[in-house]
A and B are shown apart, each in its own frame.
Chain A
Amino acid sequence: MSNAVSALQSKVAAGEVTVSETGLRGMISLRGDLSQRKLQKVCADLAGVKFPQQGQALSNGNSGLAWMSPDEVLVMCDYNAVDAGLEKIAKALKGQHHLATNVSDARAVLRVEGDFAREVIAKLAPVDLHPDTFKTGDFRRTRLGQVAAAFWMTDADTFEVICFRSVAQYAFDLLAMSAKAGRVGHFAP
């Protein structure tokens, strides 16, 4: 896999709020009955985090789980761990109706980090990002400017954003521009 490169090859736009591409991340799109214990368990085992509630994402480094829809969860792991993950899912859900497929190369992951990261995102997405409404662990599939994207907060100053690989440069530039434009102060205490 030495040939594999991420869309933006870990590009960074440093500033008060820093935008960076995280590099390759393993992602498995899993569709099935999310209420099923076997499904929840294999996901939690693979990602090392709790199975998320509706509208939530939990992550730790490259590993994590994101609730995508009532019948879809995104399993995140190391890029090279996807094949093993798919095998574990197939084994755990054998005989049950589900779909699991590798989408690692279809996506880019961006990180937005800094004390007004919340505003950098709020300027671009039609989402209520008030600190009382959108908190660490909350997850939204929405838009950033002109493209589909999803994001969640890993801590009070950090967002992780996923988008399609082919629009990674656009999403990065958009976030970097929003960061450079600076603080709005709308969410200031």
Chain B
Amino acid sequence: MEDWLQCEWWDWQVYIANVTEQYAQVAVVGPDARKVLEKLGGMDVSKDTLPFMQWADGTLGGFDARVYRISFSGELSYEIAVPASQGRAFWDRLLDAGAEFNVMPYGTEALHIMRAEKGFIMIGDETDGTVIPQDLNLQWALSKKKDDYLGKRAHLRSHMASPDRWKLVGLETLDGSVIPDGAYAIADGVNANGQRNTQGRVTSTYYSPTLKRGIAMGLVHLGPDRMGDVIEFNKIDGTTVAAKIVDPVFYDKEGVKQNV
């Protein structure tokens, strides 16, 4: 942004500041998350005042806080930013207040599995430098009305605008196993180098303890138009595993659990 402001739109009266390090941010997640925050007190975090996808400034237990009602786990969830110098004190207070609800720290592996159950993409997993919003079925987020925006010209290029691309889908193995990380979906025939043709690849793959089976997301050629098709993913031992193309949201499709 600073680059754009200095080099492209130097005549704008706009200043920005990087305040990432000014804050420590803690996610308080789970069906009892609201009860813990209400125990700290200081601001209204109810469903009506602070609905899903809203944020508010206030205090919690005497800490200056910016509370975001967002969820990467699919559960009732708040992310709370406090001044970094008070991050540890706030964390300790949350563990203390949450003790009666069996609060515990949860790590990124648990978070990754929960977000995959919800079909939430992870930048760097479902995306790399070649993946565009349309591939993730996010074409709704690209304005058709705006004359211009950053990246608009790129979206107009023939390969980008073509519907003939690998697109995001969910994958369910027929035998319930976990598709190996990095596996490709094989297609008929070989390419000019004698390599097996491919028609997609897995981008996230986990064992879901909730669903008691392997779940995955992947980018598959014309994937969303092929719901229910069964395709084969390669394995290191030279065999393949059959997986059905399904909706990427495996759990709580209506979003009931985060909207309470």
**Interface residues, chain A, CB within 8 Å of chain B?**
1, 3-6, 24, 29, 31-32, 71, 97-99, 101-107, 164-166
- What is the minimal beta-carbon distance from B6 to any residue of chain A, in angstroms? 10
Q: How far is the CA of A166 from the CA of B84 in the complex (A)?
A: 9
Are the C-beta atoms of A164 and B85 separated by less than 8 Å?
Answer: no
Say yes or no for B251: interface residue by CB 8 A criterion. no
Are the C-beta atoms of B85 and A98 separated by less than 8 Å?
Answer: no
Q: How far is the CA of A164 from the CA of B84 in the complex (A)?
A: 11
Are the C-beta atoms of A31 and B15 separated by less than 8 Å?
Answer: yes
Are the C-beta atoms of A106 and B84 separated by less than 8 Å?
Answer: yes
Interface size on B, residues (CB 8 A): 18
- What is the minimal beta-carbon distance from B38 to any residue of chain A, in angstroms? 20
Q: Which residues of A contact B63 (CB under 8 A)?
A: 3
Q: Which residues of A contact B21 (CB under 8 A)?
A: 103, 105-107, 164-166
Q: How far is the CA of A24 from the CA of B84 in the complex (A)?
A: 11
Are the C-beta atoms of A99 and B88 separated by less than 8 Å?
Answer: no
- A-B contacts, CB under 8 A, total: 56
Q: Which residues of B contact A106 (CB under 8 A)?
A: 19-22, 84
Q: Which residues of B contact A98 (CB under 8 A)?
A: 15
Q: How far is the CA of A95 from the CA of B23 in the complex (A)?
A: 28
Q: Which residues of B contact A107 (CB under 8 A)?
A: 21
Q: Which residues of A contact B16 (CB under 8 A)?
A: 99
- A5, A101, A104, A105 — most chain B CB neighbours (10 Å): A105
Q: Which residues of A contact B19 (CB under 8 A)?
A: 101, 103, 106
Say yes or no for B90: interface residue by CB 8 A criterion. yes
Asked whether A31 and B89 contact (CB < 8 A) given A3-B63, A103-B22, A165-B84, the answer is no
Say yes or no for B86: interface residue by CB 8 A criterion. yes
Asked whether A99 and B13 contact (CB < 8 A) given A4-B86, A5-B89, A105-B84, the answer is no
Q: How far is the CA of A102 from the CA of B23 in the complex (A)?
A: 11
Q: How far is the CA of A104 from the CA of B90 in the complex (A)?
A: 17
Least CB separation from B13: chain A residue: A97
Are the C-beta atoms of A104 and B85 separated by less than 8 Å?
Answer: yes
- What string of 1s and 0s marks CB contacts (under 8 Å) between B126-170 and chain A? 000000000000000000000000000000000000000000000
Q: Which residues of B contact A102 (CB under 8 A)?
A: 22
Q: How far is the CA of A32 from the CA of B89 in the complex (A)?
A: 35
Q: Which residues of A contact B85 (CB under 8 A)?
A: 3-6, 24, 104-105, 165
Closest 8 CB pairs of A and B: A3-B89, A99-B15, A106-B21, A4-B85, A105-B84, A106-B22, A105-B83, A31-B15
Interface residues of B in 1-45 (CB under 8 A from A): 13, 15-17, 19-23
Q: How far is the CA of A29 from the CA of B22 in the complex (A)?
A: 12
- B20, B22, B63 — most chain A CB neighbours (10 Å): B22
**Sample (20) of A-B pairs whose CB atoms are under 8 Å apart:** A3-B62, A3-B86, A4-B85, A5-B85, A5-B86, A24-B85, A31-B17, A71-B15, A97-B13, A98-B15, A99-B15, A99-B16, A103-B17, A103-B19, A103-B22, A104-B22, A104-B85, A105-B83, A165-B84, A165-B85
